[in-house]
Structure 1
Amino acid sequence: MSPDAITLPGLVDSHCHLDFPDLVSDLPAVVARAKAAGVERMVTICTRLRQESNVRAIAEAHEGVFYAAGTHPMSAAEEPMATVDQLVQIARHPLMVGIGETGLDYHYSADSADVQQRSLRIHIEAAQETGLPLIIHARDADEDMARILSEGVLVKPYACVMHCFSSGENLARTASDLGFYLSVSGIAAFPKSGELRDIFRHASVDRILVETDSPYLAPPPHRGRRNEPAFVAHTARAVAHLWDLSPEDFAKATSANFDRLFTKAARARAAA
């Protein structure tokens, strides 16, 4: 084990990309290191529906790994538009536990805003239809994101997590008012992320998840290198104090939150 490795039992990496080339080529070792670090469960995310079978196969091959599927907003203009029926069909698989990631990204893809919004609304409807939580990617689109998410709830309530949350205070407040969850990534452990840490500090700990978004956004002391699920322990240890919790209690709290949001994964664990 690396000298930088730490162990924090009971963790869940609620968002990673195990099918990406940086990780899939080393997958057995990546999963083993995660388990050694105390990461009991992971959700690997399919970002293009044509790759759903590959992501599903990873979940089927590794105990404690679940998956979610959707069309990433940065791919929305390149991929065939998903349908509600298509997402509902995929959601019948016992290891498929979330809808997305979907959302809005105007930082890199503002020219496809209309397509992204149509895709987001389809994913919202699929979350409403299946009862699975919506997994949201948001960047530089806070106003439209808050509006569309709120409009969806008025039609029919649904569950949601703002994955890798790094948006502004207003969107965090909207998510909180809607009963949604915020997910902490390695960004919150970066030295210059004081404003983001303040947003998390004022959020209720019973609406917090923790993730890696690996292979991206590795927390210190791994920043600048490939991220992997084992490193969620570093993020958890770095941010637990925001809620006056020990890292161990933070791991327990976020795992309980995961079970409350990702109810299908919780049922699978209880049945195992």
Structure 2
Amino acid sequence: MSKTRREIPIFEHPIIETHCHLDYLKDRPLAETLAESRRVNIERIITIAVAPDNLAAVRTLCQAAPWVYGTQGIHPHEAEHYTDAVEREIREHVPNPDIVAVGEIGLDYYYDHADRDVQRQVFRRQLQIACDAGLPVVIHSREADEDTIAILKEFEHSLTRRGVIHSFTSGPGLARYALDQGWCLGFNGITTFNKAENVRDIVRMTPIEQILLETDAPFLTPVPYRGKENAPFYLPFVAEKIAEVKGLALEQVVRQTYLNSLRTFFREP
């Protein structure tokens, strides 16, 4: 953990937090987190659903401020808890104007908290929801590159060409497939970790027009605040690292990732 803590940089141009879990933050009141995020010029926050018991919590959080948005979906860790009733709940609420994507969905063969066959089945069912609703997807894939690509190929002609593989730690094959589909890759505090050169290699190969900034808070706190609970207001450190790794001006990274976020989740510009 870095011993040097510095002030969070504040950019003139706004930024968008595309992936966090506000209902999992414990270190400070929600109002304080939102106020600090606003102070560092975060214009919008997307809080992500992961389990049957937090679908409603995400929808409630969307009422906390007009600039907080959410998703509806079940994480692969929770695949064995996916039921017809859960699917009905997701389908009922994805048309809400403050729900901007189906996610977090996908495959996780690293932890294997759910049977792999069940994970694949649930992934397919939720991709179909996204197809039916015309919404982008927020995809989690860990140690499952081949199956993730194979399943996504089944839906190539039905999914919108807006989406993200978030917290990207996979190999170049999955990166190239997603980029060829017109999707984005989401990068967070992992890019600042000393041993994450594999992730920085993917950052280098990813066009800046297809990068999204995220924190995945409360997880994966960036340097120089590792060891503390992550929060959306640490997002500027991710932007700085992306600019450093790609050899681009920070202002260019901030402006372009902002536009990428609008295009992916808000059908703008």
TM-score by length of 1: 0.90
- Partner SS for 1:5: coil
The answer as to 2:13 corresponding to 1:19 is: no
- Partner SS for 2:71: strand
Following superposition, the deviation at residue 263 of structure 1 comes to 2.4
Structure 2 residue aligned with 1:76: 79
- Partner SS for 2:228: coil
Gaps of 5+ in 1: 268-272
- Partner SS for 1:19: helix
* Cα 1:53–1:156 shift into 2, 3 Å: closer
Alignment of 1:28-47 (within 5 A): 28-47=31-50
The answer as to 2:246 corresponding to 1:243 is: yes
* Cα 1:147–1:20 shift into 2, 3 Å: same
> Conserved in 2, the CA contact under 8 Å of 1:183 and 1:210?
yes
> Conserved in 1, the CA contact under 8 Å of 2:161 and 2:182?
no
Q: Which has the higher helix share?
A: 1
* Cα 1:239–1:222 shift into 2, 3 Å: same
Structure 2 residue aligned with 1:149: 152
Residue 125 of structure 2: which of 122, 126, 131 is its match? 122
Structure 2 residue aligned with 1:175: 178
Following superposition, the deviation at residue 188 of structure 1 comes to 1.0
Following superposition, the deviation at residue 63 of structure 1 comes to 2.8
Q: CA-to-partner distance for each residue in 1:200-242, whole Å, 9 max, x for gaps?
A: 1111111110100000000000112200000010111111133
> Conserved in 1, the CA contact under 8 Å of 2:76 and 2:107?
yes
> Conserved in 2, the CA contact under 8 Å of 1:88 and 1:129?
no
Q: RMSD between aligned alpha carbons?
A: 2.0
TM-score by length of 2: 0.91
Alignment of 1:123-142 (within 5 A): 123-142=126-145
Moved more, 194-203 or 106-115: 106-115
In structure 2, how many angstroms separate the alpha carbons of the residues matched to 1:185 and 1:58? Answer: 22
In structure 2, how many angstroms separate the alpha carbons of the residues matched to 1:191 and 1:238? Answer: 12
> Conserved in 2, the CA contact under 8 Å of 1:76 and 1:119?
yes
Alignment of 1:157-172 (within 5 A): 157-172=160-175
Q: CA-to-partner distance for each residue in 1:181-213, whole Å, 9 max, x for gaps?
A: 101111011122122111111111111101000
Give % identity. Answer: 33
- Letter paired with 1:258: S
Following superposition, the deviation at residue 19 of structure 1 comes to 0.8
- Letter paired with 2:145: D
> Conserved in 2, the CA contact under 8 Å of 1:71 and 1:82?
no
- Letter paired with 1:147: A
Gaps of 5+ in 2: none
Residue 59 of structure 1: which of 43, 59, 62 is its match? 62
Q: CA-to-partner distance for each residue in 1:117-148, whole Å, 9 max, x for gaps?
A: 11111111111111111000111111101111
Q: How many pairs does the alignment contain?
A: 264
Following superposition, the deviation at residue 5 of structure 1 comes to 2.1
Which 4+ runs in 1 deviate beyond 6 A? Answer: none
Q: CA-to-partner distance for each residue in 1:29-86, whole Å, 9 max, x for gaps?
A: 1111111112111100111133222211111121311001100100111343566654
In structure 2, how many angstroms separate the alpha carbons of the residues matched to 1:161 and 1:120? Answer: 15
The answer as to 2:189 corresponding to 1:186 is: yes
In structure 2, how many angstroms separate the alpha carbons of the residues matched to 1:74 and 1:122? Answer: 15
> Conserved in 1, the CA contact under 8 Å of 2:24 and 2:218?
yes
- Partner SS for 1:103: strand
Q: CA-to-partner distance for each residue in 1:1-45, whole Å, 9 max, x for gaps?
A: x8532212411110000011526x521111111111121111001
Q: CA-to-partner distance for each residue in 1:85-105, whole Å, 9 max, x for gaps?
A: 543321121101010100000
